[in-house]
Amino acid sequence: MTLMSVPGHPADIDFSRKPLVMGIINCTPDSFFPSSRAAALADASRKARQLIDEGAHILDLGGESSRPGADYVDEDEELRRVIPVVEEIRKFSHIPLSIDTRKAAVAEAAFKAGADIINDISALQDDEAMAAIVADYGAYVVLMHKKGSPRDMQLQPHYENVLEEVLAGLKQAVEKASKAGVQKEKIILDPGIGFGKRHQDNLDLLRNIPRLSALGYPVLIGHSRKSFLEKISGRGVDERIYASISAGVLAQLKGAAVLRVHDVAATLDAVAVVRAIEGDGVSWSG
């Protein structure tokens, strides 16, 4: 499978052999998992090479932490953190690049530098110009469900029926993207594990990935090392790799199209084992 990207011409991404593994690079000083932080350009470049060597299918770069309690990062600072990293990676790789941002100006600058996907935790809500920018560049977009902002989303989240409310929110986001001209095949949905969700809400959403997939779009699951796994395993963020792999395997079996993870090599090993047993009997390296 060859995935190519040229600035201004987003990659064609094949979701048919799922899940794709998206490796996380946080170009921030404050993301919740310290080992994912790569605030300096050299560190981000080194991390990108490592994840590519491990077999990542997509890299997801973020310049604004969205951990619970995180503060807003202004546009200039986010541009400073992210765009040089996109430019640097494009010197040595055509791997599809996803940019985790809520800001249209950051998205446009990233597309011009060679990015392919916008991973918008606000599902096009925080910046009214975002949908048009994505459409204009013919790019992919991840529409994620959340309640509140990163600063307050985990204070007192509440749902009457989390699955139905998330489904309704994602349908509204799809409608907004479609009206702006975003191509149907370029839309990816994310239920927002840990984003304004209680512990049981996260479990219910993971249990119901087939219902999310039934909307007709690839589903991305961002479960990696999150705090709901601590409630299950009792382990801190540095020790949650086994819990993360378990959740990823479950998501794979339930039909997730993309797994957004910190631990690319371990996840790919697990993906290959599941495919060998449950799939066509052929191990998969990407």
**pLDDT tens, 224-238?**
999 999 999 999 989
Q: Identify the weakest region by mean pLDDT among 26-40, 71-85, 261-275.
A: 26-40
Domain that holds residue 124: 20-278
Give a yes or no: residue 140 inside a domain. yes
Give the global pTM.
Answer: 0.89
Give a yes or no: residue 10 inside a domain. no
Q: Which one, of 250, 217, 33, 56, lies nearest residue 123 by Cα?
A: 217
Q: What is the pLDDT of residues 19-71, one digit of tens each?
A: 999 999 998 876 656 666 677 898 899 999 999 999 999 999 998 876 565 56
Is the pLDDT confidence value at 146 over 80?
yes
- The whole-angstrom distance between residue 181's C-alpha and the CA centroid of its chain comes to 22
Cα-flanking dihedrals φ and ψ of residue 80, to 5°? -60, -35
Give a yes or no: residue 259 inside a domain. yes
Active-site residue, from 147, 197, 226, 275: 226
Cβ-in-10-Å burial (0-12, 13-18, 19+) of 161 comes to exposed
Tell me, yes or no, if 226 is annotated catalytic.
Answer: yes
Burial 75-114 (b: 16+ CB within 10 A, else e): beebbebbbebbebbbeeeebbbbbbbbbbbbbbbbbebb
More confident residue, 180 or 31: 180
Amino acid at site 37? R
Give a yes or no: residue 188 inside a domain. yes
Residue whose entry in the numeric block shows the structure tokens 């404050």: 30
Is 98 in contact with 118 (CB distance < 8 Å)? Answer: yes
Give a yes or no: residue 283 inside a domain. no
Specify the CATH number for the domain of residue 165.
Answer: 3.20.20.20
Is 126 in contact with 171 (CB distance < 8 Å)? Answer: no
Give a yes or no: residue 284 inside a domain. no
> pLDDT value at position 3?
42
Q: Beta partners for 37?
A: 26
Active-site residue, from 102, 186, 197, 260: 260
Residue whose entry in the numeric block shows the structure tokens 């921030």: 28
Is 151 in contact with 197 (CB distance < 8 Å)? Answer: no
Q: What is the pLDDT of residues 191-245, one digit of tens each?
A: 999 998 999 999 999 999 999 999 999 999 999 999 999 999 999 989 999 999 9
Tell me, yes or no, if 275 is annotated catalytic.
Answer: no
Residue 255: CA atoms inside 13 Å, Cβ hemisphere, count? 15
Band of the pLDDT at 17, cuts 50, 70, 90? confident
H helix intervals, 137-234: 162-180, 199-207, 209-213, 227-233
Q: What is the pLDDT of residues 99-140, one digit of tens each?
A: 999 999 999 999 999 999 999 999 999 999 999 999 999 999
Is 192 in contact with 121 (CB distance < 8 Å)? Answer: yes
Give a yes or no: residue 167 inside a domain. yes
Band of the pLDDT at 247, cuts 50, 70, 90? very high
Hey, what are 68's tokens?
């619970």
> pLDDT value at position 284?
43
| DSSP at 37 | B
CA distance 128 to 134: 11
Is 57 in contact with 22 (CB distance < 8 Å)? Answer: yes
> pLDDT value at position 127?
95
Element (H, E) at 278: helix 264-278
More confident residue, 161 or 33: 161
> pLDDT value at position 12?
84
Give a yes or no: residue 220 inside a domain. yes
What's the domain count of the chain?
1
